[in-house]
Amino acid sequence: MEQPAAESNNGSVQERQKAAAAERLARNIAANEAIAEKEFPNETWIGIDNVKLSHVSIPEDATGILVAKSRLPINKQEELDFLKEVISAANLKKLGSSVTLIPRIKRPDGKGFLPGPDAIVNGSFFEFKTVTGRMDKIGARFNYSRKQGNNVYIRVANPKLTKPHVLSYMARLINNPNYKGGYKGELIFTFGTGREEKTYFLKIRDLKK
DSSP string, 44-101: -EEEGGG---SSS---GGGTT-EEEGGG---SHHHHHHHHHHHHHHHHHHHTT--EEE
Sign of torsion, CA 74 51 44 92?
A: negative
Q: Give the amino acid at 9.
A: N
Question: Residue 43 sits in a domain of what CATH number?
Answer: 3.40.1350.120
Mean pLDDT of 34-50: 95
pTM: 0.88
Question: Model confidence over 53-69: pLDDT tens digits?
Answer: 999 999 988 999 999 99
Q: How confident is the model at residue 2 (pLDDT cuts 50, 70, 90)?
A: very low
Identify the DSSP state of 106. Answer: B
HSE (side-chain half, CA atoms, 13 Å) at 182: 12
Question: Model confidence over 133-175: pLDDT tens digits?
Answer: 899 999 999 999 998 889 999 999 999 999 999 999 999 999 9
Identify the DSSP state of 201. Answer: E
Question: Model confidence over 93-112: pLDDT tens digits?
Answer: 999 999 999 998 877 887 77
**Residue 129 lies in domain:** 3-207
User: How many domains does the chain divide into?
Assistant: 1
